[in-house]
Amino acid sequence: MREFAFIDSLRARVRSNDGVVRGIGDDAAIVRFAPGEECVVTTDTLVAGVHFPLDAAPADIGYKTAAVNLSDLAAMGATPRFCTFALTLPSLDGGFVEPLIKGLLALLDTHQVALVGGDTTRGPMSLTLTAIGSLPAGTALGRDGARAGDVVYVSGTLGDAAAALALRGQRGDSLDGERKLARTRLQQRLARPTPRVALGQALRGIAHACIDVSDGLAADLGHICRASGLAAVLDSVALPASRALLTLVDDPGQRLALQLGGDDYELCFSVAPENEEQLAAIAAATHTALTRIGTLGPGEGVHFLDADGRIMSAPAAGYEHFR
């Protein structure tokens, strides 16, 4: 397939929304925002072998490209609206690009995000999505708004994606039915993370600070601590684990290391204690479990308490490129 045939086919299948003035097909896209709205922009690149395994299903790669970007918008409390997609591939043939686009558009359509432009070039595979969202002016959830005395929460469960990565290559033949099912669940969480879009928006005006857990809880909450000039003390035993993780990883130390491993795309946020009671309604409305995992106070860094309430030595660090 040639570049322009590809762009034409893409143009024919993308869905628009009421903010799109001009989408794919001109030199640039035109989008509009309501008065009093701010525009929130984020870009993430996915590189084969770094952000997804070399043998990952193309539909999962497309889905994850959308998911990680929508997760960044969610962490700001923004409503995702538009995106552009820069695609570099060795070839547009060979059955790779069709499922890739399908996976990408599946998640974009779920959130009514319009693909309004991009670029298509030949080269080693790389996928870059720029996602654009909106929110009422002044309501974005930053990393720097946390206050001493805040309580720290995390959505969903931690460690599934890291566990799926750790279990890769391990043969499944020896696993019984329950464990096989659990492993499939973990693999799904790695391949198709759920961006907490509704939760992020619901936390506007309630959370003081928010971040999505991509590099690992300690690393990401560390950004909030640094930006807000605070220290976090987390209860290691309180970190939420999925049934699948509990089924497959018995050792609590191993489990904790995986829970700090990253790639979960859950939201970690801080709220004033007096706002905690509003979280039950938000959890119910967004169908997202919310777990209290610790507190913020004066100092610096992210610290963990063991089951006896004693400070642990640093359990594990998150992911960092060029380390």
Tokens of 202: 């619901």
Residue 145 in the binding site for ligand ADP (CB under 6 A): no
C-alpha span between 87 and 22 (Å, rounded): 20
Q: Which residues pair with 302 in a beta bridge?
A: 232
Residue 310 CB neighbour total at 10 angstroms: 8
Q: What character string, x for contact with ligand ADP (CB under 6 A) and - otherwise, covers 12-51?
A: ------------xxxx------------------------
Given Mg ion, ligand ADP, none, residue 178, with its beta carbon under 5 to 8 Å by kind, binds none
Residue 244 in the binding site for ligand ADP (CB under 6 A): no
Residue 10 in the binding site for ligand ADP (CB under 6 A): yes
Residue 82 in the binding site for ligand ADP (CB under 6 A): no
Residue 44 CB neighbour total at 10 angstroms: 20
DSSP class of residue 173 equals T
Stretch that binds ligand ADP, among 113-121, 148-156, 199-207, 264-272 (CB under 6 A): 113-121
Stretch that binds ligand ADP, among 116-124, 147-155, 214-222, 223-231 (CB under 6 A): 116-124
Residue 119 in the binding site for ligand ADP (CB under 6 A): yes
Residue 117 in the binding site for ligand ADP (CB under 6 A): yes
Which one among 52, 63, 82, 85 touches ligand ADP, defined by CB under 6 A? 85
Residue 119 in the binding site for Mg ion (CB under 5 A): yes
Looking at the chain, which runs of residues are DSSP E strands? 20-22, 30-31, 37-47, 79-89, 114-122, 126-136, 151-155, 207-212, 231-235, 267-271, 290-297, 301-305
Length of the chain: 323
Residue 101 in the binding site for ligand ADP (CB under 6 A): no
Residue 49 dihedral angles phi and psi, to the nearest 5°: 85, -15
Stretch that binds ligand ADP, among 44-52, 118-126, 211-219, 272-280 (CB under 6 A): 118-126
Coil vs helix vs strand at 165: helix
Residue 7 in the binding site for ligand ADP (CB under 6 A): yes
| Cβ-based nearer residue to ligand ADP, 101 or 224 | 101
Stretch that binds Mg ion, among 30-38, 117-125, 149-157, 193-201 (CB under 5 A): 117-125
| Cβ-based nearer residue to ligand ADP, 112 or 120 | 120
Angle at 300 between CA 296 and CA 301, to 5 degrees: 85
Residue 87 CB neighbour total at 10 angstroms: 22
C-alpha span between 99 and 114 (Å, rounded): 18
Best CA proximity match to 245, nearest among 173, 308, 167: 167
Tokens of 290: 């919310």
* Count of residues in contact with Mg ion, rule CB under 5 A: 1
Residue nearest to Mg ion (CB): 119
Which residues of the chain form contacts with ligand ADP (CB under 6 A)? 7, 10, 24-27, 85, 87, 115, 117-120
Residues that bind Mg ion (CB under 5 A): 119
